């Protein structure tokens, strides 16, 4: 069958460096840093006392008091990002059959804070099970997708993807496939996460996965730097409206760009560590190129997973060189996690927004916090250290990888009708 073309007609984001897409993009270009001391809980006994929190967030600015009680923070972030994306797209009941619009929204963890509060309350009580009736609906990872569909009356495919830190990239790939197969005319896709709490920080501390650079949190996230010591945990979310091209053109929608390929793979190697040669990353990128019908030399920019972890930051560049060969040294590579931290299940879509806007505006945001080259990383690669760079970007690839060995790669390109 002939596959339909899929374009992006709406974007939404709430991030540690900007609470809307325009604010986020301007911050990326400036090289803003979202890391600071944690405000959400007392960190005095924790190994890590900083994170990339959403700044100036008050749920009452977005929701009435009754709804705040119903939504875990991850779902709040999801609804906010989806609301911006839907409004940006102009999609409504007057120009679209809402039966043909779906929602695929992800979270790697779901309502972790709700789980902490409810279980802690039971554990410190008298044993009587006095649980909030919203406990389960607030906690489950698919609830954000449900709330978004309820708010807008979207009755197309509706579910959540869960693949750890690759979750929202998976949601975009699933949405892309549903639309190009004709299963929906548009899908609101993305993800959100709210892991900056005692269990989230404590759990990642126990794994030695996150930076403990408490004396200098602003430089905690330093992808590809010799002295990196783990990622900086972040929160927030983002959303795309992916739409069938002819439907978008017919209704006169603004088009940011085109999604042309998605690749998925498994490392099949280790519970939390990447394949040391980046073989799973190589496969997901290769499959994305094949899916898009593009050659390696058609790609100008790669937004890496680039978490600032000791092993991951070595494996991914190896995979890039293996796939792209000599063209790897002509790529503009970056890691926007150096600015936002790692949004876990929300990372893939927030980085895909950065990648799409890089394609649209021909600007590669920088990788900040680079101080010392790592001899184990091919430093002939251009990691866009220090400041944003203007260059032609015809098509770009963005990577997202998750615990369990889940790998997802997405290709976005300029839209030409």
For 265-316, the pLDDT digits (tens) are 999 999 988 999 999 999 999 999 999 999 999 999 999 999 999 999 999 9
* 264, β-bridge pairs: 408
Please report which confidence band the pLDDT of residue 358 belongs to, taking 50, 70 and 90 as the band edges: very high
Write down the H helix ranges in 17-72.
21-30, 65-70
Dihedral class, residue 270 (left if φ above 0, else alpha if ψ from -120 to 50, else beta): beta
Phi, psi of 89 (to 5 degrees): -75, -25
Instruction: Give the side-chain half-sphere CA count within 13 A for 119.
Output: 9
Euclidean distance between the first and the last CA atom of the chain, given in angstroms as a whole number? 20
Give pLDDT, residue 390. 98
Q: Which of 52, 147, 165, 406 is catalytic?
A: 165
Q: Which of 147, 247, 275, 342 is catalytic?
A: 342
Q: Which of 147, 301, 305, 406 is catalytic?
A: 305
**What pTM did the predictor assign?**
0.97
Active site residue 52: no
Instruction: Give the side-chain half-sphere CA count within 13 A for 163.
Output: 25
pLDDT tens per residue, range 123-172: 999 899 999 999 999 999 999 999 999 999 999 999 999 999 999 999 99
Active site residue 165: yes
Give pLDDT, residue 28. 98
Give pLDDT, residue 245. 98
Alpha carbons 42 and 54: distance in angstroms, whole number: 17
45's enclosing H/E stretch is: none
Evaluate the CA torsion angle 37, 39, 40, 44 in order and state its sign: positive
Q: Which residues contact 17 (CB under 8 A, 6 or more apart)?
A: 23, 24, 27, 28, 32, 33, 34, 52, 339, 340
Give pLDDT, residue 1. 77
Phi, psi of 130 (to 5 degrees): -100, 80
Which tokens hold the place of 81? Answer: 């990002």
pLDDT tens per residue, range 28-74: 999 999 999 999 999 999 999 999 999 999 999 999 999 999 999 99
Q: Which residues contact 202 (CB under 8 A, 6 or more apart)?
A: 46
Q: What is the mean pLDDT of the chain?
A: 97
Active site residue 301: no
Q: Which residues contact 239 (CB under 8 A, 6 or more apart)?
A: 10, 11, 12, 13, 78, 81, 82, 84, 85, 105, 188, 189, 190, 349
pLDDT tens per residue, range 206-238: 999 999 999 999 999 999 999 999 999 999 999
């Amino acid at each position: 069958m002939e596959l339909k073309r899929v374009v992006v007609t709406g974007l939404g984001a709430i991030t540690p460096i900007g609470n809307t897409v325009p604010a986020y993009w301007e911050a990326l270009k400036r090289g803003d840093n979202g890391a600071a001391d944690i405000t959400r809980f007392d960190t005095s006994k924790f190994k890590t006392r900083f994170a990339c929190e959403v700044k100036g967030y008050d749920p009452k600015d977005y929701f009435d008091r009754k709804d705040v009680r119903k939504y875990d923070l991850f779902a709040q972030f999801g609804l906010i990002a989806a609301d911006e994306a839907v409004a940006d797209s102009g999609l409504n009941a007057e120009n679209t059959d809402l039966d043909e619009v779906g929602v695929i929204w992800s979270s790697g963890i779901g309502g972790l804070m709700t789980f902490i509060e409810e279980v802690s309350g039971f554990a410190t009580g008298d044993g009587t099970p006095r649980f909030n009736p919203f406990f389960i609906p607030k906690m489950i990872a698919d609830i954000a997708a449900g709330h978004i569909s309820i708010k807008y009356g979207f009755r197309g495919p509706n579910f959540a993807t869960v693949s750890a830190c690759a979750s929202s990239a998976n949601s975009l790939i699933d949405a892309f496939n549903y639309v190009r197969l004709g299963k929906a005319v548009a899908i609101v896709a993305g993800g959100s996460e709210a892991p900056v709490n005692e269990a989230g920080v404590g759990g990642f501390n126990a794994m030695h996965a996150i930076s403990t650079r408490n004396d200098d949190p602003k430089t905690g996230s330093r992808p590809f730097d010799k002295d990196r010591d783990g990622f900086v945990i972040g929160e927030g979310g983002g959303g795309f409206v992916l739409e069938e091209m002819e439907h978008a053109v017919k209704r006169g929608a603004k088009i940011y760009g085109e999604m042309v390929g998605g690749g998925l793979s498994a490392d099949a190697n280790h519970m939390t560590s990447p394949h040391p040669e980046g073989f799973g990353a190589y496969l997901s990128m290769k499959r994305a190129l094949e899916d898009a019908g593009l050659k390696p030399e058609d790609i100008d920019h790669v937004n890496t997973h680039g978490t600032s972890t000791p092993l991951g930051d070595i494996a991914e560049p190896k995979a890039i060189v293996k796939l792209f060969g000599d063209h790897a040294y002509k790529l503009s590579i970056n890691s926007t996690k150096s600015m936002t931290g790692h949004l876990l299940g929300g990372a893939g879509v927030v980085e895909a927004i950065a990648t799409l806007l890089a394609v649209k505006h021909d600007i590669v945001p920088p990788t900040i916090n680079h101080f010392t080259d790592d001899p184990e990383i091919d430093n002939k690669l251009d990691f866009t250290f220090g400041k944003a760079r203007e260059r032609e970007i015809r098509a770009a690839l963005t990577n997202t990888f998750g615990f369990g060995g889940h790998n997802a790669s997405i290709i976005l390109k300029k839209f030409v009708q």
